[in-house]
Amino acid sequence: MSRAAYRRLRDRIVEGLASNLSHDEYVHSRGVETEAVRLFFAFDRTGELWKASLAGLLHDYARSMDLFEMQKKLSDAGVRVPDGRTATRGLLHGFVSAHMARELFNVTDPSIIAAVKYHTTGRPGMSFLEKVIFISDYIEPSRTFEGVAAVRRAVAEAVFCGRSIDHALLHVVRDKVRSIQSLGIVCFPKMIELLHSLEKKSFVEQVTF
């Protein structure tokens, strides 16, 4: 994508976010873009910054819709959603946002679409972009939940000590699973699969908390 085309598309997406999301949701989406671009810089992926930017902005595009609206939009479009994700807004909004990225902005790059779809639950075998958006969604600057500062420090240590993106991802997935389970909520199976796949990697013993 040319720089001019990217700028035009980004401007349209930002305008749509400002029109359709609440103030907090808008700030969050801009924060995810910022964090994703920062991580791409840190890992010397400067040639794909535009993907980090667009995926970060688009990941919650449908967040303001209620569950019925989300279900109807996908049903009307004939979009199939696997793994029982139609049950809640939290599980479904990534798929709806990915659909809207195609429908409204003609975004068809498969890596961007996948990053938007799976930013909430993750999945085994994630691409670099998917991992970055998953991490960025959890630690972007406007997040204020208890413990987020510690997760940010762990991610920064993993990144700037020359470790892989999977080191950073493991910190985030572990904390997210812990947080969900502490609320008495059953974690989505794909997130547990992701955690187990990361824990099998050889670096796991080097990770500290």
Question: What tens digit of pLDDT does each residue of 26-62 get?
Answer: 999 999 999 999 999 999 999 999 999 999 999 999 9
Q: Which domain holds residue 167?
A: 3-206
Query: Count of domains in the chain?
Result: 1
Say what the pLDDT of residue 203 is. Answer: 54
Contacts for 4 with CB less than 8 Å, ≥ 6 apart: none
Q: Residues 94, 120: contact at Cβ < 8 Å? A: yes
Q: Residues 155, 168: contact at Cβ < 8 Å? A: yes
Overall residue count recorded for the chain in this entry:
209
Question: What tens digit of pLDDT does each residue of 56-77 get?
Answer: 999 999 999 999 999 999 999 9
Give the integer Cα–Cα distance in Å for 149 and 158.
Answer: 14
* Confidence band for 162, pLDDT divided at 50, 70 and 90: confident
Give the integer Cα–Cα distance in Å for 180 and 117.
Answer: 20
3-state secondary structure of 99: helix
Residue 61 belongs to domain with CATH number = 1.10.3210.10
Question: What tens digit of pLDDT does each residue of 100-120 get?
Answer: 999 999 999 999 999 999 999
